[in-house]
Structure 1
């Protein structure tokens, strides 16, 4: 997974920089969504695994996408086909989305709780995170009954664990020493 992101990140950065310069971020986002879906399709993967030439693979993408791709997008597909990198398009899309969120000052957070949180509770958590981070927050909510009680907030590399299971785990570590 680490290697995939390492390979995908420069592509995403280059695409994002070009889209920012040309003021067509939404267009490139749509292109990456379409091409990532194509490259991730099981039937397409079977076709690509037959050892087709880069031109044949490019032709398949071109026929599927039709007029949805600009010449720049077609050039990207051709380049990625030549470098045998079309399989990383979903990762390129993911990295592009991260760059876009960073550009728009949006952070993504996941709140995991033992029980369903009310809309008011989620709204309060979101407000507190936005105030602390000084950026907009896109909040996802999950439930995990193994937490017993409390919440865990994942925000990129930052984890705030205020769950009972987390506290028990930390206490057990302390008592082992």
Structure 2
């Protein structure tokens, strides 16, 4: 299962629990704080990806760093440590925020490119997404220098991979299957 899909499933389950426990806005605040902290802190990203640290060590670091977080957030840390999935915490936070925006009638789309989008292209993509979805759409641009060219567009749990590396992977799978 791709990390994107796994992140979405965890985020969806987390959203369902947050709705059930009437903690949606508190969890949204936690997820935004987690996302911002991970994006701004390279050493935290290294800790979460480290194969030498145990899940318990990573969980304890997160619990210390986010000690004022909702109890449900702490439960998420425990679950991710148990399932050896702490590395996808950033993706879960992104997906949770997107689900929260959807609940409010907004759609969040992420476009991953090798270089930042210029304003014209960003406006064209945004306009097209709003036409397709019929909703207010917010576009976030992530930079992944590993992409050779093209883009990856994610809206909710859907992903459209129009990257050159994605096309090369498809071609490789096709050649290996024959």
- TM band (smaller chain): 0.5 to 0.7
After the TM superposition, list the runs of 4 or more consecutive aligned residues in structure 1 that deviate by more than 6 angstroms.
none
Deviations 1:8-62 (A, max 9, x none): 1110001111122222222111222233344553212444526222222222112
For structure 1, the 5+ residue unaligned runs are 117-121, 141-153, 158-177
Q: With the length of structure 2 as denominator, give the TM-score of the two structures.
A: 0.56
CA contact (8 A) 1:109 1:155 kept: yes
For structure 2, the 5+ residue unaligned runs are 111-117, 141-152, 159-178
Q: With the length of structure 1 as denominator, give the TM-score of the two structures.
A: 0.56
CA contact (8 A) 2:105 2:135 kept: yes
Task: State the alpha-carbon separation in 2 of the partners of residues 47 and 37 from structure 1.
Answer: 16
Task: Tell me how many residue pairs correspond in the alignment.
Answer: 133
Deviations 1:64-94 (A, max 9, x none): 112x223321121021122222221221122
Task: State the alpha-carbon separation in 2 of the partners of residues 135 and 115 from structure 1.
Answer: 20
User: What CA RMSD, in Å, does the superposition of the two structures yield over aligned residues?
Assistant: 3.8
Change (3 A) 1:79 1:104: same
Change (3 A) 1:25 1:52: same
CA contact (8 A) 1:39 1:86 kept: no
